[in-house]
Amino acid sequence: MLEIIPYNLHCLNNSSPENDWCVYGGFTLTNNDEIIIAAANEVLTLSAAVIFLLGTIEKDHSFGTKICEQLIPKCADMYVITSGQVGFINCPFDIDWWVEHSNEKVTSFFEDDREIITSLKDHIRAVLASGGFSSPVLLLHN
């Protein structure tokens, strides 16, 4: 089963919540207990990553159809676009992979040529759990 597990969630020590709305930390991505991405000790902008990963529930994130510059940005400045929509300005440091949908399957393609194929429900479950959403099962019922 695909799992995206956040670690060491925190705000920056030297910033006030009024100036920095982001949550930082590291993560690991595993599939059936095999580590695909080991970044638990990194300081990444996970609040932006969760929003980007949520986009992969319905849309592809691949060469021609990118949701964002990178799924897990090292840094991202958040701003409000219009009517509550949020945008990000990212720095060029990142962790990224492609996500493509086909029928009820989702394929994730990684830089080291690994591919993971999961059901759409398992992909949704992993994304929702990565953001700390408490009841993903409720969203999976038709």
pTM of the model: 0.81
Predicted confidence at residue 64, as pLDDT, reads 85
Predicted confidence at residue 134, as pLDDT, reads 43
Predicted confidence at residue 106, as pLDDT, reads 96
Predicted confidence at residue 131, as pLDDT, reads 77
Residue of 97, 98, 96, 104 whose CA lies nearest to 124:
104
Predicted confidence at residue 138, as pLDDT, reads 40
Radius of gyration in angstroms for the set of CA atoms belonging to the chain, rounded to a whole number: 15
The pLDDT tens digits for 91-129 are 666 899 999 999 999 999 999 999 999 999 999 999 988
Which residue ranges in the chain fall short of pLDDT 70? 13-21, 76-93, 132-142
Predicted confidence at residue 9, as pLDDT, reads 85
- Tokens 């799992």 appear where? 3
Predicted confidence at residue 56, as pLDDT, reads 94
* Contact status, residue 139 vs residue 128, Cβ threshold 8 Å: yes
Give the span between the Cα atoms of 94 and 113, in whole angstroms: 18
* Contact status, residue 110 vs residue 99, Cβ threshold 8 Å: no
Two tokens at 131? 């953001």
Residues paired with 30 in a beta bridge: 3, 35
Predicted confidence at residue 141, as pLDDT, reads 35
